[in-house]
């Protein structure tokens, strides 16, 4: 395929092209559509790990996504600059490829519900009869169906290349992984989960057209996924040390046995294959040498010390990315040592932050909020759609709108649901359109708590 035809193929959109008078490239338009969407702006009110209302200034899903986009873009630019043949061959070419990776970084968390992974668990259980729930699948659904653009009836109408770059887990729930696929950690080229609902089958087929390896990520998706991990283990680590949650300075002298035993037990539970425990321990020792040598006191020197530490980590992880043409197409390679270093920091986060009793208590409450919202909205909405109007329990206008929009989506896609399944998916879509404050406010209204502090404005304003 010629370069011109290849560019046109990757720049194609399912529902027509924008006006030719627009001076931006197709991939620049994608970036701007995502950046200006209300679905993206909502991420300012969605947690990364700790709640967005925390007293310390922590990353939320919006600031995390901005940094994933920036890290991914810079990696893409460096790879294209250092490898001219690669730059000529990738979707979008030298300039467009970095736009594609950046767009994927901006969009990758758009489908995440209030309270992040805690709510994912609840929604997956609640949606078990209706195809399940998965945050990455919800992101793809939001981009292709739910997000709004002035000149498009369905989603943001992004290019094929950008949609493919967002697919971190390009397969359906319950789909068997090919026997020839590499099942070994760290799963960088295919991921370990699923990430598409059957209702988005036509959009998925459009995005994946031309991919020679089913279930394998595109080049841009691999780079975005690495940028996601890099941002998580550097920028969030910064937050946890400043907040006193992770005593990085104490690792120099602390006994490591408890942490190493904890990490080994988690890996055993996950069933990692081809994982070298000796390499993990060695990289843990190497990273300790880079750690801050004193506790956080919030001085100017402390901030400089922590900034230097963050830059050293980013330098390690940037230089770990290379490209290789093995005769079977280009592949993005991550230095295995860097993979182990990222794994060490992820495990430190679990050890010091995620397993904290205080966080577990907060997450228990968050689960109850999402459970109550789903159950009550399902009941109210069923009555509403059956013509039983209750002025004491008005149904949010957006929920009605999402439900009605499904009829249009189903005519286009050919995917049919029962009325109950359609209601359940609409409720799930609606919950995933809320910020955490909106979810709590709606929960308080439905449960009768904190009504004296209620606002005249509903959560749907």
- Asked if the structure places residue 402 within a domain, the reply is yes
Indicate whether 434 and 346 sit together in one domain.
Answer: no
Can you give the pLDDT at residue 174?
81
What CA–CA distances, in Å, run from 207 to 5, 14, 21, 168, 318? 16, 9, 25, 12, 28
- Asked if the structure places residue 120 within a domain, the reply is no
Here the CATH number for the domain that contains residue 151 is 1.10.3210.10
Last-in-domain residue among 165, 199, 220: 220
Indicate whether 232 and 286 sit together in one domain.
Answer: yes
Indicate whether 239 and 373 sit together in one domain.
Answer: no
Q: How far apart are CA 367 and CA 115, in angstroms?
A: 9
Last-in-domain residue among 357, 380, 412: 357
Structural domain boundaries, residue 61: 3-112+128-220
Can you give the pLDDT at residue 457?
43
- 196 contacts 204 by C-beta, under 8 angstroms: yes
Indicate whether 188 and 205 sit together in one domain.
Answer: yes
- For the record, the structure tokens of 194 come out as 């699923």
Can you give the pLDDT at residue 408?
75
- HSE (CB half, 13 Å, CA atoms) of 287? 30
- 165 contacts 97 by C-beta, under 8 angstroms: no
- Asked if the structure places residue 459 within a domain, the reply is no
The owner of tokens 């907060």 is: 362
Last-in-domain residue among 194, 220, 246: 220
Q: How far apart are CA 65 and CA 76, in angstroms?
A: 16
Indicate whether 43 and 182 sit together in one domain.
Answer: yes
Can you give the pLDDT at residue 70?
97
Indicate whether 93 and 216 sit together in one domain.
Answer: yes
List Cβ neighbours of 18 (8 Å cut-off, separation of 6 or more): 29, 151
- Asked if the structure places residue 281 within a domain, the reply is yes
What CA–CA distances, in Å, run from 310 to 61, 147, 237, 316, 389? 19, 34, 9, 10, 56
Question: Domains in the chain: how many in total?
Answer: 3
Indicate whether 172 and 25 sit together in one domain.
Answer: yes
- Asked if the structure places residue 171 within a domain, the reply is yes
Q: How confident is the prediction along the chain (461 residues), in pLDDT tens digits per residue? A: 667 788 889 999 988 877 777 889 999 999 999 999 999 999 999 987 655 555 556 789 999 999 999 999 999 999 999 999 999 999 999 889 999 999 999 999 999 999 989 999 999 999 999 999 999 999 999 999 999 888 888 899 999 999 999 999 999 988 766 545 556 788 898 888 999 999 999 999 999 999 888 899 999 999 999 999 999 999 988 888 988 889 999 888 777 889 999 999 998 887 788 899 999 999 999 999 999 989 989 999 999 999 999 999 999 999 999 999 877 789 999 999 999 999 999 999 999 988 888 888 888 999 999 999 999 999 999 988 887 766 666 788 899 999 998 877 777 666 778 889 999 999 999 999 999 999 999 999 888 876 444 444 444 43
Indicate whether 269 and 302 sit together in one domain.
Answer: yes
Indicate whether 341 and 364 sit together in one domain.
Answer: no
Can you give the pLDDT at residue 201?
94
Distance of CA 411 to the CA centre of its chain: 29
Indicate whether 380 and 305 sit together in one domain.
Answer: no
Indicate whether 317 and 244 sit together in one domain.
Answer: yes
Can you give the pLDDT at residue 178?
58
Can you give the pLDDT at residue 456?
41
- Asked if the structure places residue 259 within a domain, the reply is yes
Indicate whether 209 and 285 sit together in one domain.
Answer: no
- Asked if the structure places residue 118 within a domain, the reply is no
- Asked if the structure places residue 349 within a domain, the reply is yes
Instruction: Tell if the pTM clears 0.85, that is, is over it.
Output: yes
DSSP SS3 for 380: helix
């Amino acid at each position: 395929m010629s370069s011109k035809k290849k560019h046109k193929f990757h720049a194609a959109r399912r529902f027509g092209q924008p006006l030719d008078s627009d001076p931006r490239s197709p991939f620049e338009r994608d970036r701007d559509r995502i950046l200006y969407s209300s679905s993206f702006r909502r991420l300012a009110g969605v947690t990364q790990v700790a709640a967005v209302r925390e007293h310390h200034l922590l990353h939320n899903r919006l600031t995390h996504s901005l940094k994933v986009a920036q890290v991914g873009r810079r990696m893409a630019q460096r790879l294209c600059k250092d490898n001219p043949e690669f730059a000529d061959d990738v979707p979008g070419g030298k300039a467009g490829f970095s736009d594609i990776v950046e767009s994927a970084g901006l969009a990758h968390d758009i489908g995440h519900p209030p309270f992040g992974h805690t709510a994912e668990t609840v929604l997956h259980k609640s949606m078990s009869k209706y195809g399940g729930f998965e945050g990455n699948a919800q992101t793809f659904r939001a981009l292709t169906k739910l997000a709004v653009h002035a000149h498009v009836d369905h989603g943001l109408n992004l290019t094929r290349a950008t949609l493919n770059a967002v697919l971190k887990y390009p397969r359906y729930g319950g789909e068997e992984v090919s026997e020839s696929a590499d099942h070994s950690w760290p799963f960088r080229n295919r991921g370990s989960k699923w990430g598409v609902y059957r209702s988005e089958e036509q959009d998925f087929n459009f995005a994946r057209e031309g991919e020679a390896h089913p279930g394998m990520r595109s080049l841009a998706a691999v780079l975005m996924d690495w940028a996601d991990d890099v941002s998580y283990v550097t920028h969030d680590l910064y937050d946890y040390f400043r907040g006193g949650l992770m005593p990085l300075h104490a690792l120099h002298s602390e006994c490591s046995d408890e942490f190493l035993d904890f990490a080994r037990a988690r890996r055993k539970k996950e069933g990692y294959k081809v994982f070298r425990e000796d390499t993990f321990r060695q990289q843990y020792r190497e990273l300790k040498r880079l750690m801050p040598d004193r506790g956080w006191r919030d001085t100017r020197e402390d901030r400089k010390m922590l900034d230097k530490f963050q830059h050293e980590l980013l330098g390690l992880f940037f230089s770990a990315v290379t490209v290789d043409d093995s005769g079977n197409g280009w592949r993005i390679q991550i230095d295995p040592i860097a993979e182990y270093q990222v794994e060490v920091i992820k495990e430190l986060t679990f050890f010091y932050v995620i397993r904290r009793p205080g966080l577990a208590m907060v997450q228990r409450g968050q689960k109850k909020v999402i459970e109550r919202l789903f159950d009550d909205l399902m009941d109210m909405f069923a009555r509403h759609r059956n013509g039983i109007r209750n002025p004491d329990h008005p149904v949010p206008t957006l929920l009605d709108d999402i439900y009605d929009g499904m009829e249009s989506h189903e005519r286009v896609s050919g995917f049919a649901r029962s009325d109950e399944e359609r209601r359940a998916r609409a409720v799930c879509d609606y919950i995933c359109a809320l910020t955490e404050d909106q979810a709590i406010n709606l929960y308080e209204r439905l449960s009768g708590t904190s009504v004296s502090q209620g606002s005249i404005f509903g959560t749907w304003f």
